[in-house]
Structure 1
Amino acid sequence: MPQQILLIEDDARLAAMVQDYLGGSGFQVTVAGTGQKGLDLHRQRQFDAILLDLMLPDFDGLDLCRTIRADNATPIVMLTAKGEPMDRIIGLELGADDYLPKPFEPRELLARLKAVLRRGITEPAHRILRFGRLEIDPDAMEARVGDRVCDLTAHQFNLLEILANRAGRVLSRDTIMNALKGENLASFDRSIDVHVSRIRAEIEDDPNKPRRLITVRGAGYVFARSQD
Structure 2
Amino acid sequence: MTVLIVEDDRVLARALAIVLRAHGDEPVVATTGREAISLAAQVDAAAMILDLGLPDMDGFAVIEAVRGWSAMPIVVLSARHEPREKVRALDAGADDYVTKPFDVDELLARLRAATRRRAGETATREVRTASFTVDLAARRVVRDGAEVGVTPTEWRLLEMLAREPGRVVAREDLLASLRGPSVPHRTHYLRVYVQQLRAKLEPVPAEPRHLITVPGVGYRLDL
| TM-score (norm: length of structure 1) | 0.68
Q: Specify whether residues 130 and 223 from structure 1 end up closer, same or farther in structure 2 by C-alpha distance, changes over 3 A only.
A: farther
Q: Which residue type is aligned with residue 112 of structure 2?
A: K
Between the aligned partners of 1:45 and 1:177, the Cα distance in structure 2 is: 29
Aligned counterpart, 1:37 = 35
Distance change (3 Å), C-alpha of 1:225 and 1:97: closer
- CA drift of 1:142 comes to 5.6
1:106-141 C-alpha deviation (Å, 9 max, x unpaired): 111111111111111114133543432323231355
| Structure 1 counterpart of 2:146, from 146, 150, 154 | 150
Is 2:47–2:72's contact at 8 Å kept on the other side of the alignment? yes
Matched, 1:136 2:147: no
1:100 paired residue number: 98
Quick one: which amino acid aligns to residue 12 of structure 1?
Answer: R
The one-letter code of the counterpart of 1:162 is L
Aligned-residue identity in percent: 31
Pairwise CA distance, 1:93: 0.9
Partner SS, residue 19 of structure 2: helix
Q: Distance in 2 between matches of 1:17 and 1:47?
A: 19
**For residue 160 of structure 2, what is the aligned residue in structure 1?**
165
Residues 142, 157 of structure 1: 8 Å contact kept: no
What is the DSSP-based 3-state SS (H/G/I as helix, E as strand, rest coil) of the residue aligned with 1:73? coil
Q: Supply the distance in 1 between the matched residues of 2:44 and 2:157 (Cα, whole angstroms).
A: 21
CA shift at 1:170, angstroms? 8.1
Runs (5+) with no aligned partner, structure 2 = 162-167, 182-192, 212-217
Partners of 2:199 and 2:170 lie apart in 1 by 18
Which of the residues 124, 127, 133 maps onto 1:126?
124
Q: Cα–Cα, structure 1 residues 134 and 161, in superposed 2: closer, same or farther, change >3 Å?
A: farther
Q: Is the 8 A contact 2:75 2:94 kept in 1?
A: yes
Distance (Å, rounded) in 2 between the aligned partners of 1:29 and 1:45: 11
What displacement does 1:67 show?
Answer: 2.2
Residue of structure 1 in register with 2:71 after alignment: 73
* Count of equivalent residues: 200
The amino acid of 1:54's aligned partner reads: L
**TM-score when scaled to structure 2?**
0.69
Contact kept in structure 2, 1:200 and 1:210, CA below 8 Å: no
Q: Distance in 2 between matches of 1:224 and 1:124?
A: 22
Q: Residue type matched to 2:104 in 1?
A: P
The match for 2:7 is: 9
Q: Is the 8 A contact 1:49 1:76 kept in 2?
A: yes
Q: CA deviation at 1:143?
A: 4.1
Q: Following TM superposition, by how much is the alpha carbon of 1:224 offset from its aligned partner in structure 2, in angstroms? A: 8.2
1:75–1:116 contact (8 Å) kept in structure 2: yes
Q: Within 2, Cα distance between the matches of 1:126 and 1:30?
A: 24
